[in-house]
Homo-oligomer: A and B are copies of this chain.
């Protein structure tokens, strides 16, 4: 049996070892570890770890710190991953906002900025907004946009991964036909990936919280989308169009012939999206709360009033909980996930809303559901984009070795 083929030669093995050590170092507390720590974390031998660290230091990816400590008489040299070596950006393009994050190579977010998209915006306008926001955030992180190593963009709609294009995004007029990725690549001169926003939210949940097989993630804001993790892999469907809970129709009179939607929103989004929550609040609540909602446009005020016992606000929460439970139950009956995590703007509503949802879900399902609220809130899409951008960087780093 030959063991010297190209795919398993000593050069390739050394690179695989160096990548394992690099990942362990990056994930260590303070991105710093001793050789002994890395032997434990990687399962490699001490000489292999030392060789890998030397290669990483030669490439400028790691550095040895002067500090040594004595561990049973032997000086333990400490190595540090140079997270500051490069930067990545994660971008969340929503129907009403553009959120940009710049992070170092360890995924620590150094600066972030959210720009509100003006009413009547088009795809072109979003691209302009994005350039400005990215320039500002990069400056705050001490770099210029062209210094970025890798960028990932999350967007609503159906994304064609091979062509790097948005195929369908009803929520942003003119967005679907734009060669966004090509334009960003030309400007930045680095890899730019694009992914459906909800799929990125799922990536972020798994990165920062629940590792998990058979997970359903529901992004609940103005729009509603879901992401699924099956067998520890994102499930996207045959046309990258799975998880469109926002478009299911629980409303139309059943025996009516189906009609195409009249606006960009899906039927379920019109029923329970942030816009409908605000509308119900304005219709049912008393004057002071109505004025507040009109001024801030923030449904958090409504949920706060409901939590404090305001009767009209509670009635809005109950209506929304009943509707949301109805739609979510449909997806749970079909998918039977191990757990459901709700993120997005509406997830900030807290127990006042989600306890009401849980109560109703129980009566709609055949097996109980484990419903949780995301800890990442509205940042999850951009964080998932940061993670996706970092994955692309890993390749570039190992190429240095």
Contacts and interface: CB of A to CB of B under 8 A. Distances in A.
Interface of A: 1, 158, 168, 214, 226, 230-231, 233, 235-245, 247-252, 254-260, 271, 319, 322-323, 325-326, 329-331, 333-338, 360, 363-364, 366-367
Given A168-B366, A231-B231, A254 B338 contact: no
A236 B243 CA distance: 17
A259 B364 CA distance: 8
A259 B363 contact: yes
Given A258-B364, A326-B254, A235 B245 contact: no
B257 A254 contact: no
Contacts of A319: 255
Contacts of A247: 333, 366
Given A230-B231, A247-B366, A250-B250, 10 more contacts: A231-B231, A242-B334, A242-B335, A242-B336, A244-B366, A245-B333, A248-B333, A248-B334, A258-B329, A259-B363
A231 B233 CA distance: 10
B237 A323 contact: no
A336 B259 contact: no
A12 B9 CA distance: 30
Given A241-B366, A242-B335, A337-B238, A258 B325 contact: yes
Contact of A334 (B252, B322, B323, B335): B335
Number of this chain's copies in the assembly equals 2
A24 to B, nearest CB: 27
Nearest to A361: B258
A258 B326 contact: yes
Contacts of A231: 230-231, 233
A251 to B, nearest CB: 6
17 contacts: A1-B1, A158-B366, A158-B367, A214-B237, A230-B231, A230-B235, A238-B336, A238-B337, A239-B336, A240-B336, A248-B330, A250-B254, A252-B326, A255-B322, A258-B325, A258-B329, A258-B363
Given A254-B271, A322-B255, A323-B255, A244 B363 contact: no
Contacts of A249: 250, 326, 329-330, 364
A244 B251 CA distance: 20
A104 to B, nearest CB: 35
Nearest to A239: B367
Contacts of A243: 334, 336
A367 B241 contact: yes
**When A and B form their complex, which 9 residue pairs have the shortest distance between CB atoms, in order from nearest?**
A237-B336, A242-B336, A238-B338, A244-B333, A241-B336, A258-B363, A239-B367, A248-B330, A241-B367
Contact of A323 (B158, B238, B250, B254): B254
Nearest to A363: B258
A230 B323 CA distance: 29
A13 to B, nearest CB: 15
Contacts of A329: 248-249, 258
A257 to B, nearest CB: 6
A230 B230 CA distance: 9
Contacts of A258: 322, 325-326, 329, 360, 363-364
